[in-house]
């Protein structure tokens, strides 16, 4: 699913009006109906509801929503925030239609006009939408602040009033903090950014049948992965395939006290369809691996407690493997750094790099140029900051992410909510699965195993990252459904992985 910028959203509106064709007021009515269908599924007809309307089309939506709810016997009061002397044409049209249904339309011009809001009420926020062009001020700001202070539930129409669609807000901007945002047709970039969480709430898309051709042709760098899109990436298995068909992966993982990371990444790799797996661990981990993951072959490093890359038996060369995953639990010992320095220049095929292998790269940035093209790095925000720089806001973070992936011709999975996958050609795919339960030790090791398995099976790196991150988050969602997010452990995620 594409994420369009505010100018494209406006052009999409116009394109729909022109090509369907449909009168603007009827498109507004369609949007209002889609919102109301959602609303009546979530709030009973007895719910006291206050609709706060601005003077533009977001406000026009609000007037239409108020009328439709009144026609469905909801107890609705309309509060028009009169922050400017003029209203949009569609606002006026809906204002006239609403007056046919109710006289109970109040106007907020001064602080004293702002109504009290009780805990059992629901506020529908239709003050400002994607037309926001400056920080809220005056009576708009006061009304928003009063709504935020009130105990009532809040549902924002299209986007929280005061939140920019695709640019950073200022630190002191006053923005609605909704419980829900019901947005039209496509997600907004603002919804994808961690710092905006409190200004988005639980967001839902309602389809208002905007011009599909415009969407299909609209250029964008931002995408939001849908289940159907992830499913399309899945390679079908040929009945005559054999284990050699699905690659032989090599994982470098573990150090004394962190052999569990090797176990988790190995098990996840096997649960993600790799044909054969070899895991190189420090000698102290050899018995653990062979016991905990009998399906994996194991190379014991010469060193008792950490990885040096040397093994006493004549093992296959790293380049003999289909792909390599490196990082889970490996630590940052000088000997392990030496191993990484020796390994990287010999590799040509994409590898998966995580955890302390990333931190070693951060401390030795000249190694970044030696990463094989299309390798996949999986930093969490702190690791990414060490790899690159500090950022002032989430939008700047996305620019840094995009430039970094392009500069080194790599795929970067910036983990978090929502995980952002940057590709070598400058796109960013936001993942749509996952939950806070995944913030538990070892889930990163699981993801490394998954991605290594997918690359070993022949998925190109972007496909592997988009599909692997999606499947990882979806497995976490299954676990959260069964047992709640608290108490989820990384092993549960492995057991909940599905590839059908």
Ligand X SMILES: NC(=O)C1=CN([C@@H]2O[C@H](COP(=O)(O)OP(=O)(O)OC[C@H]3O[C@@H](n4cnc5c(N)ncnc54)[C@H](OP(=O)(O)O)[C@@H]3O)[C@@H](O)[C@H]2O)[C@H](O)CC1
- Cβ 197 to ligand X shortest distance, Å: 20
415 is annotated as contributing to ligand binding? yes
- Cβ 172 to ligand X shortest distance, Å: 13
What sign results for the dihedral spanned by CA atoms 86, 89, 90, 93? Answer: positive
* Contacts to ligand X from residues 194-223, by CB under 6 A: 210
For 252-266, the DSSP string reads E---TT-HHHHHHHH
27 binds ligand X (CB under 6 A): yes
* Contacts to ligand X from residues 57-86, by CB under 6 A: 57-61, 83-84
Query: If binding means CB under 5 A, how many residues of this protein chain bind K ion?
Result: 6
For 300-341, the DSSP string reads EBSSSSS--S-BSS-PPPGGGSSEEEE-TT----HHHHHHHH
Q: Which two tokens stand for residue 6?
A: 């505010």
131 binds, among ligand X, K ion, none (CB under 5 to 8 A by kind): ligand X
495 is annotated as contributing to ligand binding? no
- Cβ 322 to ligand X shortest distance, Å: 46
Say how far apart CA 362 and CA 379 lie, in whole Å.
11
Peptide bond between residue 418 and the one before it cis (omega within 30 degrees of 0): yes
User: How would you classify the pairing of strands 248-252 and 297-300?
Assistant: unpaired
132 is annotated as contributing to ligand binding? yes
Residues across the chain: 500
Q: Of 129-137, 146-154, 424-432, 476-484, which segment contacts ligand X by CB under 6 A?
A: 129-137
- Cβ 483 to ligand X shortest distance, Å: 38
282 binds, among K ion, ligand X, none (CB under 5 to 8 A by kind): none
Structural contact between residues 310 and 284, judged by C-beta atoms closer than 8 angstroms = no
- Cβ 101 to ligand X shortest distance, Å: 19
Q: Of 20-28, 101-109, 136-144, 156-164, which segment contacts K ion by CB under 5 A?
A: 156-164
- Cβ 162 to K ion shortest distance, Å: 8
Q: Look-up: residue for tokens 């009063």?
A: 146
Q: Which two tokens stand for residue 434?
A: 């996952």
Structural contact between residues 445 and 268, judged by C-beta atoms closer than 8 angstroms = yes
- Cβ 52 to ligand X shortest distance, Å: 12
Residue (of 341, 423, 327, 421) closest to 374 by Cα position: 423
Query: If binding means CB under 6 A, how many residues of this protein chain bind ligand X?
Result: 31
Say how far apart CA 402 and CA 223 lie, in whole Å.
13
Q: Which is nearer to ligand X, 78 or 157 (CB)?
A: 157
For 120-150, the DSSP string reads T-EEEEES--TT--S---HHHHHHHHHHHHS
158 binds ligand X (CB under 6 A): yes
Outline where DSSP puts E strands in 82-163.
105-108, 122-126, 153-157
12 binds ligand X (CB under 6 A): yes
Residue (of 406, 401, 419, 397) closest to 466 by Cα position: 419
298 binds ligand X (CB under 6 A): no
Q: Which is nearer to K ion, 16 or 156 (CB)?
A: 156
265 binds, among K ion, ligand X, none (CB under 5 to 8 A by kind): none
Residue 240, judged by CB atoms within 10 A of its CB (0-12, 13-18, 19+), counts as exposed
Q: Which two tokens stand for residue 139?
A: 């009576």
161 binds K ion (CB under 5 A): yes
- Cβ 371 to ligand X shortest distance, Å: 41
Compute CA 207 distance to the chain's CA centroid, rounded to the nearest angstrom. 20
225 binds, among ligand X, K ion, none (CB under 5 to 8 A by kind): none
Binding residues for K(+): 58, 125, 161
| Interface positions with K ion (CB under 5 A) | 58, 125, 129, 156-157, 161
Binding residues for (6S)-NADPHX: 57-61, 129-135, 158, 261, 329, 380, 445
| Interface positions with ligand X (CB under 6 A) | 9, 12-13, 27-28, 31, 54, 56-61, 83-84, 88, 128-136, 140, 157-158, 184-185, 210
């Amino acid at each position: 699913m594409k994420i369009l910028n505010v100018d494209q959203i406006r052009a999409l509106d116009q394109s729909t009006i022109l090509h369907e064709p449909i009168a603007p007021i009827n498109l507004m009515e369609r949007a209002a109906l889609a919102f109301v269908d959602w609303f009546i599924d979530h709030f009973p007809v007895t719910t006291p509801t206050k609709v706060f309307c601005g003077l533009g089309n977001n406000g026009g939506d609000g007037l239409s929503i108020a009328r439709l709810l009144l026609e469905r016997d909801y107890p609705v009061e309309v509060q028009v925030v009169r922050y400017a002397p003029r209203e949009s044409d569609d606002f006026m049209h809906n204002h006239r239609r609403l007056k046919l249904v109710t006289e109970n339309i109040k106007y907020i011009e001064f602080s004293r006009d702002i109504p009290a809001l009780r805990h059992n009420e629901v506020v529908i926020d239709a003050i400002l939408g994607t037309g926001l062009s400056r920080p809220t001020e005056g009576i708009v700001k006061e009304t928003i602040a009063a709504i935020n202070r009130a105990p009532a539930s809040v549902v924002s129409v299209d986007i929280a009033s005061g939140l920019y669609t695709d640019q950073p807000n200022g630190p002191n901007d006053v923005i609605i903090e909704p419980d829900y945002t019901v947005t039209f047709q496509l997600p907004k970039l603002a919804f994808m950014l961690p710092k905006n969480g409190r200004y988005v709430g639980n967001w839902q898309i309602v389809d208002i049948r905007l011009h599909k051709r415009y969407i299909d042709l609209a250029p964008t760098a931002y995408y939001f992965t849908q289940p159907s899109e992830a499913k399309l990436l899945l390679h079908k298995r040929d009945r005559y395939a054999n284990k050699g068909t699905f690659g032989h992966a090599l994982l470098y993982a573990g150090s004394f006290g962190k052999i569990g990371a090797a176990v988790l990444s190995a098990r996840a790799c096997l649960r993600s369809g790799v044909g054969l797996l070899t895991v190189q661990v420090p000698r102290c981990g050899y018995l653990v691996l062979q016991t905990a993951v009998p399906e994996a072959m194991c190379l014991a490093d010469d060193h008792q407690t950490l990885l040096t890359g040397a093994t006493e038996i004549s093992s296959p060369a790293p380049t003999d493997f289909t792909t390599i995953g490196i990082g889970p639990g490996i630590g940052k010992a000088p000997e392990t750094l030496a191993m990484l320095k020796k390994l990287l220049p010999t590799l040509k095929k994409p590898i998966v790099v995580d955890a302390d292998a990333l931190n070693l790269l951060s401390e030795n940035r000249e190694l970044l140029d030696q990463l094989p093209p299309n390798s996949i790095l999986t930093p969490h925000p702190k690791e990414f900051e060490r790899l690159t720089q500090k950022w002032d806001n989430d939008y700047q973070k996305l620019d840094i992410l995009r430039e970094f992936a392009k500069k080194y011709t790599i795929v970067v999975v910036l983990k978090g909510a929502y995980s952002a996958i940057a590709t070598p050609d400058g796109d960013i795919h936001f993942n749509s699965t996952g939950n806070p339960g995944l913030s538990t030790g070892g889930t990163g090791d699981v993801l490394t195993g998954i991605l290594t398995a997918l690359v070993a099976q022949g998925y190109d790196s972007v496909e592997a990252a988009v599909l692997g991150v999606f499947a990882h988050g979806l497995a976490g969602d299954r676990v959260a459904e069964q047992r709640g997010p608290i108490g989820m452990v990384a092993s549960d995620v492995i057991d909940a992985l599905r590839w059908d």
